[in-house]
Chain A
Amino acid sequence: MSGSSAWPEARLHVVTGKGGTGKTTVAAALALALAAGGQRTLLVEVEGRQGIAQLFDSPPLPYEERRIAVAADGGEVRALAIDPEQALLEYLAMFYSLGRAGRALRRMGAIDFATTIAPGMRDVLLTGKIKETTTRTEKGRRVYDAVVVDAPPTGRITRFLNVTAEVAGLARVGPVKSQSDGVMAVLRSPQTAVHVVTLLEEMPVQETVDAVAELRRTGLPVGAVIVNMTRPPLLPEPALARAAAGEVDLGELRAGLASAGLAEGLAPALAREAVEHAERWELEDRNRAVLSRLGLPTYELPLLPDTVDLGGLYELADRLRDSALREPTASSA
């Protein structure tokens, strides 16, 4: 049973975020979480960085859907790195049965033109392919229970998702128009949820607020805010509040250090670290408040002590299952 979450109908999960917020990691964890319990999900990469392969420690992904991980209680995650050039040839073959003409176009530089230079063409191809994987059926059944996209960063996300609508404005009739109408119908429906990954720092939070406003203006369905790499406060109250104000009882700290068998001389340096810890916590809390004003479901993922590996991904996936993918209960409503 899929879709037990704040977005019961969502099957296409688009994960964006400012550079450095860990959106690839979150997208991968979400794909794993959604696959749990015998589901099949597809994790899609669109920027040619091979970030998914690196994360799963696998060789570079070809333009082909292949299994990359097995989820908890059965279920699998497949991965696909969309290559715009291949997608264009595929698109031409599908819609226009071009065959050899495709190769001729490549020799003429048309493919290069379409995928790197032409306005938005690249994004049209990428979103077209994403829509195709989301809606693909086999013997009357959906091939994927969910598709998760490691999407372009917040600064580009609205334009990326809305590109077919813009191109449709240029092409008033014809196949481009009908194709783009189909893509927009999926992207603007409750089948889609755009999630924004952020850190509790000023710039990513600001970009999140901006991106959510832009997505809403464009009529694209915003899913959740996922706060990545959070750390709990380690100091108990009221010491936390006092430290945030720059106050640490050095006498008490010295006595404590002595009774732990450590040099009392460490006290001033450790006190400074405690103050910085508390200041950071306060700043993070202010950023939390800014995010909460967006009125979106917001979930936090912890900072893992080491660079995220496969084990870490499963841990983050578990967290998402326990929070984002849980049936909203009456009390939380």
Chain B
Amino acid sequence: MTRARKAPRLDLDAVALDPRTRIVVCCGSGGVGKTTTAAAIALRAAEQGRKVVVLTIDPARRLAQSMGLSELDNTPREVSGVDTAKGGELHAMMLDMKRTFDEIVSAHSTPERAEQIFANPFYKSLSESFAGTQEYMAMEKLGQLRARDEWDLIVVDTPPSRSALDFLDAPQRLGRFLDGRMLRLLLAPARAGGRAYVRVVNASFSLFTRVITRIIDVDVLRDLSAFVGALETMFGGFRERAQKTYELLKTPGTAFLVVAAPEPDALREASYFVDRLSVESMPLAGLVLNRVRTSTAPALSAERADVAAEALADQGGHEVTEAILRVHADRALLAVHDRRMRDRFTSAHPKVPLVEVPALATDVHDLDGLRSVAEALAGI
């Protein structure tokens, strides 16, 4: 058997307790325990004396309740039950997409203009189902929290996108849209005043309107145009802020944690993300590998346990021991699988530090559960 290369150990305490670390971003594909990881890191840093806020996107109901996040109110709330003996504090908030969007509109336009925007039929649809809205809003909220400078550490849980990369791509996509001619074309009718847009003499523009008015009717185009016009001023500032936050993420005060489970899909996403961060020179702290199944009796291999169970079955009389040996064989096989998954990742990314969190028998939904995850993360 060839010995797999061993990954450097990710020392999360060294990352999250370092006063220079101001932002920790947890990213990874859906269903790998990102939210729990983010909450556990935040709790530990708070109990070790830092003033921490954790921004979660879509926590499990009971986990949210345990952190006092029973309602969506889009502002950080102090979490009770946290050990504050060392002078730390834990605040938590759940991102409310629509409300964040509303707040941006209100903050960057006059009240009358804001009213116009809220009343536009496109606004509701846009604020709720804008492709990537969660990513923009998470980025926006992160920028706001950082600007307030009230916390030593901000821990961010990224949206459960289909791809972990969406979070990084959102600001660029917005920039592409804002710099594009599309926006100007959509704005033209509003500027030219209602239906007058047909008179604008511009080859590509008339082609555009010809096409667009065949697809959607003129009233809709006017609504859309008025809406985009109303948003225009705000969008500019929005892009600037998104870009600033993006730059902030590149500074040494930020640590990216890639979260995965020992499954091919999750690790493939993790690999993409690791490569991407390195291309963008974003500071990667390491990989958190959740739900790793281990055996408490590693000395006994699955094969030997199976053989012994067979022997007992032949002999008869030790049914329970036989069954327990099969439980062990099953578990030992899964442990081998998970180890192989981990080793495969490490051979592709030998320098990426890694920490494993063993699979828990039950789900995490209270602070004690988070503490035990945090201890596993800290290597205690």
Which A positions have Cβ atoms within 8 angstroms of B? 18-21, 47-49, 51, 54, 92, 95-96, 98, 101, 104-105, 108-110, 112-113, 116-120, 122-123, 152-153, 155, 159, 163, 166-167, 169-176, 201-204, 206, 231, 234-236, 239, 248-249, 252-253, 255-257, 259-262, 266, 269-274, 276-277, 279-280, 283, 305-307
Contact = CB atoms under 8 A, between A and B. Distances in A.
Nearest to B332: A273
Contacts of A279: 361-362
B328 interface: yes
B200 interface: no
Interface stretch (B148-156, B187-195, B214-222, B345-353): B214-222
Contacts of A108: 180-182, 185, 204, 208
A117 B264 CA distance: 30
A109 B160 contact: no
Contacts, number: 207
A127 to B, nearest CB: 13
Contact of B330 (A153, A204, A234, A248): A234
Contact of B318 (A110, A256, A276, A305): A256
Contacts of B363: 201-203
B308 A260 contact: yes
B2 interface: no
A173 B320 contact: no
Interface of B: 29-32, 58, 60-62, 121-122, 125-126, 128-132, 160, 162-163, 173-174, 176-177, 180-182, 185, 204, 207-208, 210-211, 214-217, 219-220, 223, 261, 263-266, 268, 295-297, 299-300, 304, 308-309, 311-312, 315, 317-328, 330-331, 333, 337, 361-363, 365
Contacts of B264: 54, 307
A116 B308 contact: no
A269 B296 CA distance: 5
Contacts of A169: 121
Contacts of B210: 101
A159 B128 CA distance: 10
Contact of A273 (B219, B318, B327): B327
Given A104-B207, A277-B331, A18 B323 contact: no
Contacts of B308: 257, 260-262
A119 B217 contact: no
A101 B207 contact: yes
Contacts of A262: 300, 304, 308
A273 B181 contact: no
Q: B130, B312, B324: which has the most chain A beta carbons within 10 Å?
A: B324
B224 to A, nearest CB: 8
A269 B297 contact: yes
Q: B131, B300, B304: which has the most chain A beta carbons within 10 Å?
A: B131
A275 to B, nearest CB: 9
A235 B219 CA distance: 68
B46 to A, nearest CB: 24
A270 B312 CA distance: 16
Contact of A256 (B163, B185, B320): B320
A122 B215 contact: no
Given A20-B32, A307-B264, A202 B62 contact: yes
Contact of A271 (B121, B268, B324): B324
Contact of B217 (A123, A173, A204, A305): A173
B162 A47 contact: yes
B60 A119 contact: no
Contacts of A202: 60, 62, 363, 365
Contacts of B299: 266
B220 A171 contact: yes
Given A105-B211, A112-B177, 6 more contacts: A20-B265, A96-B215, A108-B208, A231-B330, A253-B320, A260-B308
Given A20-B266, A236-B319, A280 B361 contact: yes
A175 B214 contact: yes
A98 B324 CA distance: 68
5 contacts: A20-B261, A49-B162, A116-B131, A120-B125, A283-B361
B297 A270 contact: yes
A256 B297 contact: no
Contacts of B215: 92, 95-96, 174-176
A65 B29 CA distance: 28
A51 B265 CA distance: 8
A27 B168 CA distance: 29
